[in-house]
Amino acid sequence: MCLSSWLVKKKSIVAKVDSSTSEIIIPQGLWIKCDNCGLLMYNKYLLKNLNVCPECDNHFPIFSYDRIAQITDTNSWKPMDVTLRATDPLNFEDIKMYAQRLKDMKKKTGLHDAVQTGIGKISNISIALGVMDFRFMGGSMGSVVGEKLTRLIEKATYEKLPVIIICASGGARMQEGALSLMQMAKVASALYKHRKNNLLYIPILTSPTTGGVTASFAMLGDIIIAEPCAVIAFAGRRVIEQTIKEDLPENFHTSEYLFEHGFIDFIISRTKLKERLSQILRLHEKSF
């Protein structure tokens, strides 16, 4: 049987045949091509593989709801501070008002800001989990991101829970000025108290993790994990090269380079992440 005949018979795949041209019209979104190796995949298979290319292990972007579902046990997720939202204390305006930008982002993503926080379980072990979402203004860290993460860590300290934060950020949120920068110290302070109670903190660095997030809580973990080939940096390549007057290696901003130079502890594929986190949590279970 030829491919066209097979596709026509598969009603779940083919929407219709154009009678004027006899061309098979396949609905959009059914097939996806890997940008790294060129493999053409059925979209449902890619989703089943947690949005990781089965050929080259290329990690496709995913967002906070997907990560929560992948990491936590079924029906164990209990979100915190879901209605907390940013204001516009500086009346900031670039090509549009910041207040309007926040409304647009909420409409686009269904989120109030760039992080979701809550309590969940991994292999029946309770954890405090924060998951950043790059769709919301590039995962930028503003006052709400800092406040939600601080509340999460404080709750984890009080209830003696390990903390896991999945980082995905372009850095501080310029529209909030110094208020955004203050979040670095606030979250770091909460993590210090958490650590003083001998509790475990694991940041997971995804692509991209940059700017003020890298300069604060992303690098303060007891065990730092990154996804393969993730872009992890504080400043951009051009800024660094102009500052030090030297060319940087091609892979300078990758998780592999950071692992080689001792900045992170593990590079773990998304498909194995929950299993490895479960192992780590069991090893440290007596400490919490």
List binding-site positions for Zn(2+): 34, 37, 53, 56
Instruction: Please report, for residues 61, 87, 163, 246, the alpha-carbon distance to residue 286 in angstroms, rounded to integers and kept in the order given.
Output: 35, 41, 15, 47
Given a contact cutoff of 8 angstroms between Cβ atoms, the answer to whether 181 and 200 are in contact is no
Instruction: Please report, for residues 71, 125, 187, the alpha-carbon distance to residue 74 in angstroms, rounded to integers and kept in the order given.
Output: 9, 13, 28
Instruction: Report how far residue 121's alpha carbon sits from residue 138's, in angstroms, rounded to the nearest whole number.
Output: 27
Place of tokens 């299993």: 275
State the alpha helices, DSSP H only, in the chain. Answer: 3-9, 43-48, 64-71, 98-109, 143-159, 178-196, 211-214, 237-244, 255-260, 270-283
Place of tokens 């089943």: 48
Name the binding residues.
Answer: 34, 37, 53, 56
On the 0-12 / 13-18 / 19+ scale of CB atoms within 10 A, 108 is exposed
Instruction: Report how far residue 79's alpha carbon sits from residue 12's, in angstroms, rounded to the nearest whole number.
Output: 36
Instruction: Report how far residue 281's alpha carbon sits from residue 173's, in angstroms, rounded to the nearest whole number.
Output: 33
What's the angle, vertex CA 214, arms to CA 254 and CA 97, rounded to 5? Answer: 110
Instruction: Please report, for residues 145, 184, 233, 271, the alpha-carbon distance to residue 212 in angstroms, rounded to integers and kept in the order given.
Output: 12, 7, 10, 28
Instruction: Report how far residue 106's alpha carbon sits from residue 93's, in angstroms, rounded to the nearest whole number.
Output: 18
| Helix, strand or coil, per DSSP, at residue 72 | coil
